[in-house]
Amino acid sequence: MVAEIVPFLVRSGWSQEEAAYVRHDLPRWERYLRSRGITVIPRPTGLLVRRGGSIADHLFLLMMQAGNGTDPWTEHRQRNHAGVRPYKP
């Protein structure tokens, strides 16, 4: 699954350098996704939906948490979308 995450990051607008920067975290990302029943990374043709948000929602949340450039409000909204905790307005 780690090998599928890197192309997803690049398709989502990350540079190869940014993807390389978080590569050491990708096994942890994979464990996070698998713990939520996610075993497939979506191809460019569509986003797969699972209980608790789409696969892309979870991946985007991990991408936001990888750096310190995401404002807290945006990250909060993404946690709501991913369903990682009960909804908070």
- Residue type for position 33: L
Beta-carbon contacts of 34 under 8 Å, excluding residues fewer than 6 positions away, are 1
C-alpha 16/C-alpha 66 separation (Å) is 15
In a domain, 88, yes or no: no
Number of independent structural domains in the chain:
1
Give, in degrees to the nearest 5, the angle at Cα 68 between 65 and 72: 70
Q: What pLDDT, on a 0 to 100 scale, did the predictor assign at position 68?
A: 75
Rounded to two decimals, the pTM is: 0.66
In a domain, 6, yes or no: yes
Q: Which domain holds residue 22?
A: 2-82
In a domain, 87, yes or no: no
Q: Does some domain include residue 89?
A: no
pLDDT in tens, 25-50: 999 999 999 998 888 887 765 555 55
* pLDDT value, residue 28: 94
Residue 16 lies in a domain: yes
- Residue ranges of the chain with pLDDT lower than 70? 44-53, 81, 85, 87-89
- The residues near 49 (Cβ < 8 Å, ≥ 6 apart) are 55
In a domain, 32, yes or no: yes
Residue 70 in domain: yes
